[in-house]
Amino acid sequence: MTTTETGITAAADTVGADGPVLEVTDLHVTFPGEPDDVRAVRGVSYQLRKGEVLGIVGESGSGKSVTSLAVMGLLPEGAEVTGSVRLHGEELLGRSDEQLAKVRGKRIAMVFQDPLQALTPVYTVGDQIAEAVLIHSRRTKAQAWARAVELLKLVGIPNAEQRAKAFPHEFSGGMRQRVMIAMAIANDPDVIICDEPTTALDVTIQAQVLEVLKAAQRETGAAIVMITHDLGVIAGFVDRVLVMYAGRPVETGAVDDIYYRGRMPYTMGLLGSVPRLDLGERAPLVPIEGNPPSLTRLPPGCPFQPRCPLAIDACGEREPELVAVPGSDHQAACIRAGEIEANNWGVTDIYPVPEIPEDTIAQVPRADRQVVLDIEGLIKHHPLTKGVVFRRRVGTVYAVDGIDLEIREGETLGLVGESGCGKTTTLMEILELRRPARGRVVVLGRSTDRIGAGERMRVRRDLSVVFQDPMASLDPRMTAYDIIAEPLLAHNHPKDRLRSRVMELLDLVGLSAEYAGRYPQEFSGGQRQRIGIARALALEPKLVVLDEPVSALDVSIQAGIINLLEDLKARLRLSYLFVAHDLSVVRHIADRVAVMYLGKIVEQGEVDRVYGAPAHPYTQALLSAIPIPDPEKERGRSRILLSGDLPSPANPPSGCRFRTRCPKFLTLSEDERTACIDTEPPLRGIGDTDHGAACHYAEEREVV
Amino acid sequence: MAKFLLRRLANYVLLVFVATSFAYVLAATSLDARTYFESQTPRPDPAAVEMILTERNLNDNDPLAERYVRWLGGVVTGDLGLTVQGTSVNDDVQRRIGVTLRLIVLGAVIGSVSGVAIGAYAAVKQYKIFDRVSTVTAFVLLSIPTVVLAVILQIGAVMINDLLGMRLLLYSGEYSAGLQADWWGTLVDRLQHLILPTLSLALGQLAAYMRYQRNMMLDVLDADFVRTAMAKGLTRRVAMRRHALRTALIPVVTYFAFTFGVLMAGAIFTETIFAWHGMGELLVHSIAGNDINSVVAVAGFSAVCVLLAALASDVAYAWLDPRVRVS
C-alpha cells in the first residue's frame, strides 16, 4: 500500500547483511529507591533500519526519554539497566563509560529537548561543535573549527563565520536547537535520537527546526528516533510509531496503521483527545479518565486497565504482551485487540463522548449581547534601563502597542501568538485594573481609569484568572479547601455558607468532596488545574481570563480540562479570554480569535473565518506551521516557512512589523513594498464581516 | 572588559578611601594617646606632653578635622604618620607587611584551591564515603574558631614532634632566632615555621569553599549541558571537569572577596598565637597602646587587601563568564 510498508518487509527479508542499525531488545530500566523501586522502562524492544524514522510517543512518565538515555548510556549512576542494545550487532549495554564515549556522538548522536539549557553557557558555540569533531577524529583545531562553521551553515545559521564565535546566550531558542543539530550530525552518525526536539519552541520555529532535521537526515542518511508527546509532529515525519504507556510499549506499527487502524484503546484515546486544527465542527474531545499509574507499585494486570473503557476482568490478571495484528508488523498489547479489529471500532465507539450542554446564549445575536470586556488602543511600554547607581533609560520595549479587543457575554476570545508577542503583558494589564499608560480598559461597562479602590474590588469579583502552571499557582501550604475558600473570604462571603460553597465548587469542577483536605502536591496536574478553575469560579465571575491553562498538561488530561471549560461556560454563561500559543486548542474552544505579533493585533475575527481563510501572511504561516495528527494530510501539506526569529520588541521594524519575515513581502515589487516599509497597516475588515487583517495586501488563502 | 575592570577599580579606590577615613575618625575619637605618657614614671610635664602629642598629630585637644586633614595630607604623599613613641608607622608597616601577606596569600590560595577541588569531587561522589567524610570534616572545621584551631594545631604539633623524637613542626615565630645555616637550611627552617600558621588559616577557608563548591557543583551536575557534553562523546570525568566544574566555578569566584575579610580577621589571632610579627599583631598591640596612626594603617591595609581580593574576583569572574565579558 504505502512505500513504508514495502520498505519494512524488504528490509526484514535481509536481516544480517543489511540488518538493523540499532536493535533494542527487552530493555528494562529500574531506579532503586525507598521504599519501592521505580520501574521506569519495562521491556522495550524495537529495531531501527538504515535511514528509517521511528517515532516514540507517550505522555510524561511513560519512559520514552529514559529508554533513549539508556541506549546512549547517559542514565545517572545507580540506574539498573537490563536487556540488550545492539548497534550494528555490537552489544552496548554493560560497556564502560570510556568505551561508550567512543560510540556516543560518533555513531549515535542525540538532540535534547530544551535548547536553552543544553549548551554550556561559558563556551562559544563554535568551540562546542568543534569539540564534538575533535573528540572523534584526528583533526587540528583549525580544521575542526572550519568543520564547525561548515556545519552551522548546513543547519541554516546565517553569517556562520561570525556566529560561531558567539556564546549560547546570544542565540534564540530555535537557533540553539539548530546548533544542537549541527553538533549531533558533526560525525555523520548512524542514528540520531531526538528527545522532544521542538517541544520548547514556537510553532513557526518548530517548522523550521523540523525542516533542518529532515535536511540533516538527507545529509547523513542517519536513522532517526523521534521522541515526542505531540502526535502531530510525528504524523508527517516518521515511518513507524511505538506508543509507550507506563514504561511499556503498548502498540507499534507503521504510522498509518497506528493513526487509522489503532488496536489499543490507549492509542485510540490519545488520538481522540487531541484538538484538531483541521476539523471545524465542535465535537467534544474524548478525554481519557484518570491518571497514568505510579511506576513504583504497578498493579499486576494491564497498566491501562483502570482508565480503559473496554476493561474486563481478564485485563487485571496479567499484563498483555504485544501481539501482531495478522498480515502486518502492527502489534498491540491488548487482549481485546481482536475484537476491536473485528468490529472495526473507532475511538468514539470505545470512549463515552462527554455531553456538553447546549450554549443557549449562542442563539442571541452577538450585537445584542452585553460587552464584557472592551479594550481600546491599549499600550504598554517598558523602559529599558542601564546602570545600577545612575539608572538611565536607553530604550523602550514596545510590549503592547495599541490593541483593540472586545468580548461579549458568553463568548470566548482566543488571543494567540508566539512567545514574546505581548499576549501575557496584555493579560496582566487587564488584570491590574489600573489606568493603562494609554488606551482604555472597560470591564463590564466600568472603565479602569476612573474607578477607586472599593469599586476596583467589586470589579475583581466579576473578573478572575486561571494560570498556566497549576503547581506554581497554588500555595503548597494550603489545602484545596483553603485555596478555594480564599477568594470567598477576601470578599466577605457569609461564613456559614462557606463550606457548602466550597463543596459545590469542587463538585462543579469534577472533584469529589473528600479531596478538600488535601494539599496541592497530592494532586495530579489535571486535578490541580481543576482546583485553580474552582478558585477562579468561586465569586461567580462574568469573565475568566485563562492564561495557557492547558499547555502544561498531557493531551489526555488536557482534553478533560477543555471539556470542563466548555461545559462551565455553557452552564454559567461565562465569557473567556483564552490566551494560548496552541492554535489547535484555540480553534476548539474559541468563538473569536485575535492573532498577535510584536505587540499588535494582525488579524481578528470569527474562528472559522480566520482558520478557514486567513488573510494575514503571518496567520497563514502560523496555521500552516502547525502539524496535524493525520499522516495522510500531513504528507500532502506544504508549509509556509518563515525566515529568522521574532525581532526584538525594543526595536521593531518600521511600517509593517511583520515585513522582515513576511513571505508575501518577498513577492512584492519595489513600489508595492514602500507601503509596507513606510506605513503601518491598520486592521481592515474583509468583505462585510468583522474579520479584519492588518496587511496592505491581505488576501484570503486556505492553509490548513 | 578592560573598561569594566577600570570602572570597578575606580570604585574600589573610593571605597578604600571611605573605609580608611572612617577608621581614622573612629580611632581618633575612641583611643586616647595621652594615656601612654600618663603611665610613664616620672610623669612628663603636661605642657611638654601637649606639644609632643600635637607634633605627632595625636592631640585630642586639636580639632578632629584639622588632625584628619594633616593625616590625609601625609597619607597622600605616602607617609602614614607617627606612632605614639614617635617612630614612623611606615617603618613598622614595611617590616610587617611581608610577613602577613605571606600568611594570608598562602592561606587563601591553599584554602580556596583545595576547597574547590575537594568540594567538586565530593559533589561528583555525592553520598559516597568521600562525600560523607568531607562533609563532616567541613562542618567540624567551620564550627571551630581560628583561635581554638590554632591552639589545637599547636598541641597536635607537640604530639607529633614527641612521637618522631625531633622538632619537625615549629610553632613559635617566623624563623629560628640565630640560626646558622646555608640558604637550604634557612628555607627548611622557614617552612617548618610556616606550616602550622598557614594551615590554621587555610583550614577554615578550605571548609567554607568545600561546602560552597559542592553545592554549586551539585546544581550543574544534572544540567542538560553536561548531558550534551557526554552525548558528544566525552567521558563522564572529562565532561565533569570541562563543562560542569568550569560553570560551577563562576559563583564560587565571587565568594573569594567575601571570605577574604574572614581570613584577615583570622590572621590577627594566628599571628598572635604563633608569635609572628605581622600586621595582625601590630593591630592588637596598637589598640592596646592607644596608637591611633598604627591602628588606621592596619585598617587601611585590610581594606586594600579585601578590595584587591574583590578585584581578583572580578577579573576571574569576567574571565570565566563570557556573559559578563560580552555585554
Distance of residue B1 Cα from the nearest chain A Cα, in angstroms: 16
Which chain B residue has the Cα nearest residue A104? Answer: B233
Same structural domain for residues A220 and A253?
A: no
A180 touches chain B (CB under 8 A): yes
Rounded CA separation B34/B60 (Å): 8
C-beta atoms of B322 and A121 within 8 A: yes
Average model confidence (pLDDT) across chain A: 89
From the list B228, B246, B323, the residue facing A118 with the nearest CB is B228
Rounded CA separation A376/A388 (Å): 36
Same structural domain for residues A284 and A158?
A: no
The segments of chain A whose pLDDT lies below 50 read: 1-17
Which chain A residue has the Cα nearest residue B322? Answer: A122
Residue B242: name the closest of A108, A74, A128, A118 by CA: A128
Q: Which amino acid is at B262?
A: V
Compute φ and ψ for A240, nearest 5 degrees.
-130, 160
Same structural domain for residues A131 and A45?
A: yes
Rounded CA separation A133/A119 (Å): 16
Last residue of a domain, one of A192, A214, A238: A238
Which chain A residue has the Cα nearest residue B125? Answer: A77
For residue A540, being part of any structural domain is answered with no
Residue A540: name the closest of A580, A473, A493, A607 by CA: A493
Name the residue with cell 524514522.
A53
Question: Hey, of B224, B228, B325, which one would you mutate to test binding to chain A, going by the most A CBs within 10 A of its CB?
Answer: B228
Question: Which grid cell sits at A481?
Answer: 479547601
The number of C-beta contacts closer than 8 angstroms across A and B is 82
Neighbours of A211 (CB within 10 A): 13
Same structural domain for residues A114 and A252?
A: no
- Name the maximum alpha-carbon separation found in chain B: 85
From the list A97, A131, A136, the residue facing B235 with the nearest CB is A97
Distance of residue A703 Cα from the nearest chain B Cα, in angstroms: 37
A586 touches chain B (CB under 8 A): no
Question: Which grid cell sits at A570?
Answer: 455553557
Rounded CA separation A167/A237 (Å): 31
Secondary structure percentages of chain A, helix, strand, coil, to 5: 35, 20, 40
Question: Which residue range forms the structural domain that includes residue B175?
Answer: 96-291
Predicted confidence at residue A18, as pLDDT, reads: 67
Distance of residue B126 Cα from the nearest chain A Cα, in angstroms: 11
Residue B175: name the closest of B160, B161, B185, B165 by CA: B185
Question: Which grid cell sits at A693?
Answer: 487583517
Same structural domain for residues A10 and A146?
A: yes
Q: Which residues of A touch B230 (CB under 8 A)?
A: 72, 74, 101, 104
Predicted confidence at residue A11, as pLDDT, reads: 39
From the list A114, A117, A132, the residue facing B233 with the nearest CB is A132
C-beta atoms of B326 and A131 within 8 A: no
From the list A104, A105, A121, the residue facing B247 with the nearest CB is A121
Question: Hey, of A122, A176, A192, A390, which one would you mutate to test binding to chain B, going by the most B CBs within 10 A of its CB?
Answer: A122
Question: What CATH number does the domain containing B110 carry?
Answer: 1.10.3720.10
From the list B227, B321, B323, the residue facing A112 with the nearest CB is B227
User: What residues pair up with A443 in beta bridges, in sequence order?
Assistant: A373, A446
C-beta atoms of A120 and B246 within 8 A: yes
Domain count, chain A: 3
Residue A460: name the closest of A439, A490, A480, A427 by CA: A490
A68 touches chain B (CB under 8 A): no
For residue B260, being part of any structural domain is answered with yes
Rounded CA separation A469/B129 (Å): 39
Rounded CA separation A427/A400 (Å): 10
From the list A97, A110, A121, the residue facing B231 with the nearest CB is A110
| The residue count for chain B | 327
The segments of chain B whose pLDDT lies below 70 read: 326-327
A131 touches chain B (CB under 8 A): yes
For residue B313, being part of any structural domain is answered with no
A135 touches chain B (CB under 8 A): yes
C-beta atoms of A102 and B233 within 8 A: yes
C-beta atoms of A104 and B320 within 8 A: no
C-beta atoms of A120 and B234 within 8 A: no
For residue B100, being part of any structural domain is answered with yes
Q: Which residues of A touch B228 (CB under 8 A)?
A: 110, 112, 118-120, 180, 183
Neighbours of A529 (CB within 10 A): 30
A65 touches chain B (CB under 8 A): no
C-beta atoms of A112 and B326 within 8 A: no
Neighbours of A370 (CB within 10 A): 12
Same structural domain for residues A339 and A202?
A: no
Distance of residue A109 Cα from the nearest chain B Cα, in angstroms: 6
Question: Contact at 8 Å (CB) between A357 and A366?
Answer: no
Same structural domain for residues A81 and A148?
A: yes
Distance of residue B313 Cα from the nearest chain A Cα, in angstroms: 17
Same structural domain for residues A165 and A255?
A: no
From the list B222, B243, B326, the residue facing A120 with the nearest CB is B243
DSSP run (H or E) holding A43: strand A38-48
Same structural domain for residues A128 and A273?
A: no
From the list B225, B232, B250, the residue facing A135 with the nearest CB is B232
User: What residues pair up with A464 in beta bridges, in sequence order?
Assistant: A544
Last residue of a domain, one of A203, A222, A238: A238
C-beta atoms of B225 and A106 within 8 A: no
For residue B15, being part of any structural domain is answered with no
Question: What CATH number does the domain containing A132 carry?
Answer: 3.40.50.300
The DSSP symbol for A552 reads T
A170 touches chain B (CB under 8 A): yes
A74 touches chain B (CB under 8 A): yes
Domain count, chain B: 1
For residue B278, being part of any structural domain is answered with yes
Q: What is the CA radius of gyration of chain B?
A: 24
Q: Which residues contact A345 (CB under 8 A, 6 or more apart)?
A: A339
Same structural domain for residues A191 and A288?
A: no
A527 touches chain B (CB under 8 A): no
Distance of residue A646 Cα from the nearest chain B Cα, in angstroms: 21
Predicted confidence at residue B119, as pLDDT, reads: 95
Residue A606: name the closest of A362, A413, A360, A376 by CA: A413
Whether omega before B42 lies within 30 degrees of 0, making that bond cis, reads yes
Distance of residue A95 Cα from the nearest chain B Cα, in angstroms: 12
For residue A436, being part of any structural domain is answered with no
- Give the pairing of strands A248-254 and A240-245: antiparallel
Neighbours of B33 (CB within 10 A): 22
Which chain B residue has the Cα nearest residue A179? Answer: B228
Please provide the distance, in angstroms rounded to a whole number, between the alpha carbons at the two ends of chain B. 9
Q: Which residues of A touch B233 (CB under 8 A)?
A: 101-106, 132, 135-136, 187
C-beta atoms of B230 and A74 within 8 A: yes
For residue B311, being part of any structural domain is answered with no
For residue B213, being part of any structural domain is answered with yes
Same structural domain for residues A165 and A263?
A: no
C-beta atoms of B235 and A167 within 8 A: no
> Starting at the edge strand that comes first in sequence, how are the strands of the sheet with A592-597 ordered?
A463-466, A543-547, A575-580, A412-416, A592-597, A600-606, A692-693, A684-685
Predicted confidence at residue A6, as pLDDT, reads: 38
Question: Contact at 8 Å (CB) between A472 and A491?
Answer: no
Distance of residue B233 Cα from the nearest chain A Cα, in angstroms: 4
Rounded CA separation B274/B175 (Å): 11
Question: Which grid cell sits at A544?
Answer: 475568566
Same structural domain for residues A188 and A336?
A: no
Question: Hey, of A107, A120, A163, which one would you mutate to test binding to chain B, going by the most B CBs within 10 A of its CB?
Answer: A120
For residue B87, being part of any structural domain is answered with no
Residue A25: name the closest of A273, A303, A322, A272 by CA: A322
Whether omega before A35 lies within 30 degrees of 0, making that bond cis, reads yes
Predicted confidence at residue A280, as pLDDT, reads: 65
**pTM for this one?**
0.85
Segment 345-364 of chain A within 8 Å of chain B by CB: none
Last residue of a domain, one of A207, A238, A269: A238
* Alpha helices (H) in A17-165, listed in sequence order: 64-72, 97-103, 125-136, 141-154, 160-163
Rounded CA separation A434/A451 (Å): 8
For residue A513, being part of any structural domain is answered with no
DSSP run (H or E) holding A44: strand A38-48
Question: Which residue range forms the structural domain that includes residue A207?
Answer: 3-238
C-beta atoms of A104 and B230 within 8 A: yes
